[in-house]
């Protein structure tokens, strides 16, 4: 058992709650500025069917046609180093209690390199 781990499934400024959009959603526990990096939602791993492993942060983000965050495809993380992943960045100021949303496509695609042909956000 790891005794001194700083890892948490969600950042301390986010929580899970009932969503008016669908089921459960991700909500801000404090005001968040535009451009705030909320963290990784998915990690690339070609061994999986869709080639991405969804992390806790990615599990509760709901789709919205006018989102308040962008999904960014990246190859580097400042803490981990080289790692292909998707992360969420706020695209506008988010008020305490507001749901975190991203415009995304849920679709079964034949091409495993779908991130190069389809936008995850608008």
Assigned domain for 120 exists:
no
Q: Which two tokens stand for residue 88?
A: 């969420």
CATH number at residue 23: 2.170.270.10
- With the C-alpha atoms ordered 20, 26, 31, 35, is the resulting torsion angle positive or negative? negative
Assigned domain for 45 exists:
yes
Rounded CA separation 37/89 (Å): 4
Q: What is the pLDDT of residue 4?
A: 61
Mean pLDDT over residues 39-46, rounded?
A: 91
Assigned domain for 3 exists:
no
Q: What is the pLDDT of residue 52?
A: 87
- With the C-alpha atoms ordered 89, 40, 22, 117, is the resulting torsion angle positive or negative? positive
8 or 84, which is more confident?
Answer: 84
Q: What is the pLDDT of residue 50?
A: 78
| Tens-place pLDDT, residues 69-85 | 999 999 998 888 999 99
Q: How far is CA 25 from CA 2, 17, 37, in A?
A: 29, 6, 18
Q: What is the pLDDT of residue 3?
A: 63
Asked if 38 and 21 count as a contact pair (C-beta separation under 8 A), the reply is no
Assigned domain for 111 exists:
no
Residue 27 has pLDDT above 80, yes or no: yes
Q: What range does the domain containing 60 cover?
A: 14-102
Q: What is the pLDDT of residue 82?
A: 94
């Amino acid at each position: 058992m790891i005794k001194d781990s700083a890892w948490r499934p969600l950042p301390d400024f986010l929580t899970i709650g009932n969503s008016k959009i669908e089921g459960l959603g991700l909500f801000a526990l404090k005001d968040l500025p535009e451009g705030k990096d909320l963290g990784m939602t998915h990690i690339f791993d070609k061994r999986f069917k869709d080639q991405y492993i969804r992390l806790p942060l990615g599990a509760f983000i709901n789709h919205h046609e006018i989102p308040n965050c962008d999904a960014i495809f990246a190859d580097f993380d400042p803490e981990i180093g080289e790692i292909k992943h998707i992360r969420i960045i706020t695209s506008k100021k988010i008020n305490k209690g507001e749901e975190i949303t991203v415009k995304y496509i849920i679709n079964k695609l034949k091409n495993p390199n779908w991130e190069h042909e389809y936008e995850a956000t608008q």
